[in-house]
Amino acid sequence: MGKELFTSADNYVLQIAPDVPADNPVRILIMAAVLCVDMVLKE
């Protein structure tokens, strides 16, 4: 409760489809896109 009142911290869960291989650069792009959206909308 205190965290919600005194900070703007949020918790997110990112789920990438299992058919995207672990070594695929698209995974990095997905993570970067999520971080950018958070920074633009929540800051």
Q: What is the pLDDT of residue 12?
A: 82
Q: Where are the domains of the chain?
A: 12-42
Instruction: For residues 10 and 3, give the distance between their C-alpha atoms in angstroms, rounded to a whole number.
Output: 9
Query: Of 13, 14, 8, 12, nearest to 29 (Cα)?
Result: 14
| Cα–Cα dist 4/22, whole Å | 34
5-26: per-residue pLDDT in tens? 666 677 888 899 999 999 999 9
Residues 8 and 38: beta-carbon distance below 8 Å: no
- Please give the pLDDT value at position 36: 92
More confident residue, 41 or 32: 32
